[in-house]
């Protein structure tokens, strides 16, 4: 099997969104994916792109994706955030995730980023073990916080 990794393009977005939906099913949250191809096109290929991605292809078919963006640490400076690595279930075990992750590491290196950071669900043992092979550290102190779209839209400044 010949696997190639390349920078993602606008035309890849429908296939990328399908992989995102596959991941959501795996993570037991299939109804959480609300992003559209049009939003991804605007946000990744518009005037001010906020993310980039690489795809893995086998026989011209997209079978994996790694999506990143810049995050700024007040303590460290520029960091790369790896939002997701997704490999289609049929193609797992072929080192595609490794190839995508190493492409992300290379991007961070070329950008002189101070960190490459990501999150992984604590029950996702295959992913945790994958990152451990790179001697990644896991932080048990920090909690993830979030406000969802509706909460943001309903927000009123206090007087």
Q: Give the mean model confidence (pLDDT) for residues 121-135.
A: 93
Instruction: Please tell me which residue in 26, 91, 131, 134 is annotated as part of the active site.
Output: 131
User: Which CATH code is given to the segment(s) 3-138?
Assistant: 3.40.630.30
Q: What CA–CA distances, in Å, run from 21 to 48, 57, 150? A: 25, 18, 21
Q: Judge whether 134 counts as a catalytic residue.
A: no
Q: 45: helix, coil or strand?
A: helix
What residue segments make up the domains of the chain, in order of their start? 3-138
Structure-block tokens of residue 114: 């101070």
**pTM of the full predicted structure?**
0.92
36-86 per-position pLDDT tens digit = 999 999 999 999 999 999 999 999 999 999 999 999 999 999 999 999 999
Sheet architecture: strand order including 52-58:
3-7, 52-58, 61-73, 77-87, 115-117
- The residue ranking higher by pLDDT, 37 or 122, is 37
């Amino acid at each position: 099997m010949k696997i190639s990794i390349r920078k993602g393009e606008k035309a890849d977005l429908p296939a990328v969104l399908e992989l995102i939906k596959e991941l959501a099913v795996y993570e037991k949250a299939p109804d959480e994916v609300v992003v559209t191809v049009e939003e991804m096109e605007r946000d990744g290929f518009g005037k001010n792109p906020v993310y980039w991605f690489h795809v893995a292809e086998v026989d011209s078919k997209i079978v994996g994706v790694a999506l990143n963006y810049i995050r700024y640490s007040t303590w460290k400076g520029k960091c790369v955030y790896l939002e997701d690595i997704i490999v289609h279930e049929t193609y797992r075990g072929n080192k595609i995730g490794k190839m995508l992750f190493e492409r992300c590491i290379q991007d961070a290196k070329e950008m002189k980023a101070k960190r490459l950071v990501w999150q992984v669900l604590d029950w996702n043992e295959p992913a945790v073990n994958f990152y451990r092979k790179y001697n990644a550290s896991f932080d048990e102190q920090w909690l993830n916080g979030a406000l969802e779209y509706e909460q943001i839209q309903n927000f009123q400044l206090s007087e």
